[in-house]
Chains A and B, each alone.
Chain A
């Protein structure tokens, strides 16, 4: 039996009827049509489904859509503003922090939330922050460089303001 939920997604309120058992990741991909969040495993291990729930990373494969009723979600599609890439997105490109791209949306959202909490991180802290997100292609080194570059960029922008 379907329940009506209203979720604010990337700034817009979306209302739909969903079965309680519908996983949040399927709601995002199939009901909302936002396919940046991916599915990669069965055991909440890989993190390719990561989105931001009220600003904090969660593994959307391990939540039900009904739990998100009344709450705010940010997906990778909501990272750019007015056509401008978020500094994290730009940095992933500049530092070759992606290869196949499958882990990238989740990884970038974790980086975004992390830098908002810790704007001047050490390499160790960056690796710790992304340790819930697996990558098979890059070996993480360029992802770390991308987060460091984004941090630099975001600090300069702050200073400029």
Chain B
């Protein structure tokens, strides 16, 4: 309940933040703080310095530009919940946003921060995997690089950012003209981590699937992409049999562990049921 001491800096620009990260090895970035501060209170994390990016202008962009949805590092979950462009064009994001933690925590927490935290039970990682998203990182030494989400999420609580890098935004590619998506989450109560989470996205052309994304939460060492299931869908239309087959494949690709939330067999079966339900709901209501 009482964190250890640290130095606090509140830079006014990205460059200032990058300089601090370059000069201080044991510095962590503070945005929403809804994952970091709880760890510090329990003394599971004790960084020597916190670099608060909360006062840097320009990091709260939430807009479509250059073929992607840009989600700045300071875009709060609350904004994603209420955004028209998200609900119109990014239904997987729209379905997941209200299910992140609880409504008060969503006022502070950020999507980009959640990706950097890389909790295998975090919802946003699965959504980004399903949508083929990426993270834009900047550093003083290396300039800017765009990291595809599959590379970005390395392992439990490990992302591929270098210590001197700041994630400035996440990007989600334009869904195209015909698309649908959703996010299903089995949680024991509001605010719990997912027992199982399933992100689904399909882009279609006259009913034929051109792109498919299935991301899984809570059933692996990181968020997982159910690639075999995705590949089974591409080039076909979403029939009942195909949906069941994709669901079966996704369940096989998942790697859950038995714990207080349930047995591995249980979670695997929920993946199957939820992928099927997610695909059925998007088959019924594609947006074009």
Contact across chains for A57 and B104 when beta carbons are under 8 A apart: yes
Residues from chain B with Cβ under 8 Å of A131 in the complex = 102-103, 190-191
Is B78's CB within 8 Å of the partner chain A?
A: yes
- Tell me the complex Cα distance, A20–B33, Å: 14
How near does chain B come to A129, taking the closest CB pair, in angstroms? 6
Contact across chains for A47 and B104 when beta carbons are under 8 A apart: yes
Residues from chain B with Cβ under 8 Å of A66 in the complex = 8, 10, 52
Give the B-binding residues of A (Cβ under 8 A): 1, 3, 19-21, 23, 39, 42-45, 47, 50, 53, 56-59, 61-64, 66-67, 69, 110, 128-133
Q: Which residues of B, 1-35, contact A by the 8 Å Cβ criterion?
A: 1-8, 10, 30, 33-34
Q: How many A-B residue pairs have CB under 8 A?
A: 85
B36-44, B65-73, B120-128, B219-227: which lies at the A interface?
B36-44
- Interface size in chain B (residues, C-beta < 8 A): 30
* Known A43-B38, A63-B37, A131-B190; contact A57-B107, beta-carbon cutoff 8 A: yes
Contact across chains for A21 and B4 when beta carbons are under 8 A apart: yes
Contact across chains for B104 and A59 when beta carbons are under 8 A apart: yes
Beyond A42-B38, A42-B41, A57-B103, 10 extra complex contacts between A and B, CB < 8 Å: A19-B5, A21-B3, A57-B104, A64-B33, A64-B50, A128-B98, A132-B102, A132-B103, A132-B104, A132-B190
Contact across chains for B37 and A58 when beta carbons are under 8 A apart: no
* Known A19-B5, A21-B4, A131-B190; contact A63-B104, beta-carbon cutoff 8 A: no
Task: Give which listed residue, B6, B10, B101, B105, contacts A21 with CB less than 8 A.
Answer: B6
Give the A-binding residues of B (Cβ under 8 A): 1-8, 10, 30, 33-34, 37-38, 41-42, 50, 52, 54, 78, 98, 101-105, 107-108, 190-191
Residues from chain A with Cβ under 8 Å of B10 in the complex = 66, 69
- Tell me the complex Cα distance, A39–B38, Å: 14
Pairs A-B, 7 closest by C-beta atoms? A132-B102, A20-B8, A132-B104, A131-B190, A57-B104, A56-B107, A21-B3
Residues from chain A with Cβ under 8 Å of B4 in the complex = 21
How near does chain B come to A86, taking the closest CB pair, in angstroms? 19
Contact across chains for B102 and A42 when beta carbons are under 8 A apart: no
Residues from chain B with Cβ under 8 Å of A132 in the complex = 101-105, 190-191
